[in-house]
């Protein structure tokens, strides 16, 4: 099957059905290894790369930009980044979704990425303290200025996206075209409302954490300490909540299904996300070249109705055994 290309929502833009996430660049992956990962991904058909200004406080964007300068492939890549997270500890305005921060954050991202435009500029999390029209007006101005091509969201609730569509239509602004949602076989909550909403209104979906933050790679076993150097060997508070006995019920139920295809659990579970209705391009976040190759090989795993039924027996649609988001879903104080 290999890498294929899918429409990015209603835009007409074609993106690979896997998106290379650059969160590890500059954090756990050195620059030279990051450049090699970008090159290999492009060689194997990836044309979609996602990063964020908050990843290592700009280092990921810098490395991503350097990689595309070095290989000369910027024009072939749909380049996505995000704003919202704190970019300074001592300035409350160096974060969020205000016009003031968005304009400044975009200029800084353009400089780090060494490009004069961002294909997809996304708000990293919703903000209940900022009216959605404030955010949309600033993003619309960036599109008009040619600095941004399209705009999107990450970890928004279905109602927040519908509200944003209403605001954009009423005010004559560019609308969000995609949503990055947490979606994996430990957390299927987005199937309840968000996925049907996205399909109804033409949103592309770009699932993050399709391997459950590494929990669905097969490296963790019930009753055993997490391998040294892995994410869960020294987890933060949110990760500790994810690491529970219920996840092993799912993992142990999925392992025989992967074995039937003679593929690793990682490839089976990633292939499952890729195959779900309404999914555009799951984000992979490899730390090493071996992880990248393993993720890319998931594009060759063909699942059928028997697989989908068997998976639903292990973890039913819409269910969650490990939480993958705690977003701010409070009401916007919307003003027109």
In a domain, 229, yes or no: yes
Phi, psi for residue 230 in degrees, rounded to 5: -85, 165
Kindly name the residue from 35, 55, 220, 268 that is annotated as catalytic. 55
In a domain, 328, yes or no: no
Average pLDDT, the chain: 94
In a domain, 83, yes or no: yes
Sign of CA dihedral 60, 282, 128, 160: positive
In a domain, 333, yes or no: no
Q: Is 268 a catalytic residue?
A: no
pLDDT in tens, 144-158: 999 999 999 999 999
The owner of tokens 């070249």 is 289
The DSSP output letter for 330 is P
pLDDT in tens, 232-265: 767 676 677 777 889 999 999 999 999 999 999 9
In a domain, 60, yes or no: yes
Q: How far apart are CA 222 and CA 146, in angstroms?
A: 51
pTM score > 0.85 for this model? Answer: yes
What pLDDT is recorded for position 248? 96
In a domain, 289, yes or no: yes
In our burial notation (b when 16+ CB lie closer than 10 A, e otherwise), range 208-241 reads bbbbbbbbbbbebeeeeebeeebbbeeeeeebee
What pLDDT is recorded for position 242? 77
What pLDDT is recorded for position 333? 40
Q: Look up the domain containing 21 and give its range.
A: 5-314
Residue 334 has pLDDT above 70, yes or no: no
The DSSP output letter for 232 is G
What pLDDT is recorded for position 324? 85
The CATH number covering residue 18 comes to 3.20.20.100
In a domain, 243, yes or no: yes
The DSSP output letter for 174 is P
In a domain, 320, yes or no: no
Q: Structurally, how many domains does the chain consist of?
A: 1
């Amino acid at each position: 099957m290999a890498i294929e290309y899918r429409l990015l929502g209603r835009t007409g833009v074609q993106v690979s059905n896997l998106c290379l996430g650059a969160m590890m660049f500059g954090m756990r992956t050195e620059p030279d290894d990051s450049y090699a990962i970008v090159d290999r991904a492009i060689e194997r058909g990836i044309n979609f790369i996602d990063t964020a200004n908050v990843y290592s406080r700009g280092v990921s964007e810098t490395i991503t930009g350097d990689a595309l300068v070095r290989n000369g492939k910027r024009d072939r890549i749909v380049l996505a980044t995000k704003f919202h997270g704190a970019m300074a500890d001592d300035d409350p305005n160096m974060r969020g979704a205000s016009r003031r921060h968005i304009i400044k954050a975009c200029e800084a991202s353009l400089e780090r990425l060494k490009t004069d435009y961002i294909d997809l500029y996304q708000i990293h999390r919703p903000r209940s303290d900022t009216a959605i029209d404030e955010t949309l007006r600033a993003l619309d101005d960036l599109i008009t200025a040619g600095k941004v091509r399209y705009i999107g969201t990450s970890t928004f609730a279905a109602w927040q996206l519908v509200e944003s569509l209403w605001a954009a239509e009423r005010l004559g602004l560019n609308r969000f075209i995609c949503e990055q949602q947490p979606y994996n076989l430990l957390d299927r909550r987005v199937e309840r409302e968000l996925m049907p909403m996205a399909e109804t209104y033409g949103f592309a979906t770009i699932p993050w954490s399709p391997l459950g933050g590494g929990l669905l790679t097969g490296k963790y076993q019930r009753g055993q300490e997490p391998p040294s150097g892995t994410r869960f060997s020294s987890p933060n508070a949110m990760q500790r909540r994810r690491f529970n006995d219920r996840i092993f019920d799912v993992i142990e139920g999925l392992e025989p299904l992967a074995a039937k295809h003679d593929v690793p659990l990682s490839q089976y579970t990633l292939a499952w996300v890729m195959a779900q209705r309404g999914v555009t391009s799951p984000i992979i976040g490899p730390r090493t070249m071996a992880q990248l190759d393993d993720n890319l090989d998931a594009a060759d795993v063909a699942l059928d109705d028997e697989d989908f039924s068997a998976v639903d027996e292990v973890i039913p649609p819409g269910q969650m055994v490990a939480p993958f988001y705690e977003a701010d879903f409070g009401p916007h104080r919307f003003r027109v």
